[in-house]
Amino acid sequence: MKSDFVVALIVGAVLLIGICGIVDYSSAKTGSYVARQPSAVLLPLHRTGQADYSNPYHSCYDSDGGKNFNVKGELSINGESWVDSCRNDVELVENFCMFHVRNAPQRGFVIYSCPYGCLDGKCLS
């Protein structure tokens, strides 16, 4: 009876450690960008980091180098792509690379209010 309790305790500890390892975000990284920090909301989706990242298993490339609001860019992750676009005359959807959960690339984006308006996927200057 006592040995069953010890075995159950060990199995429980192993499961708990395994579950914590699955949701470990301590190594999450965000990439560099070449623009001032916007007052925007960061909404990571199922794909996302570093402006030009590649390895044999994952790749993420942002043609405008990251969060660059004055240049229309295209984000490519493992064969899928997203183009920077204007939601309306003022708001820009700026895509960029992010890396979360074991360095897997994911799409990140901000919705940025352009001071002088938005046209063709970039802020007017």
Cβ atoms within 10 Å of 64's Cβ, excluding its own = 23
The list of the chain residues with pLDDT below 70 reads: 1-2, 5-9, 11-58
Look at the pTM and tell me if it is higher than 0.85. no
Going by C-beta distance under 8 Å and a sequence separation of 6 or more, which residues neighbour residue 4? Answer: none
pLDDT of residue 52: 41
pLDDT of residue 105: 86
pLDDT of residue 30: 37
pLDDT of residue 91: 96
pLDDT of residue 29: 37
pLDDT of residue 14: 56
pLDDT of residue 118: 97
pLDDT of residue 113: 96
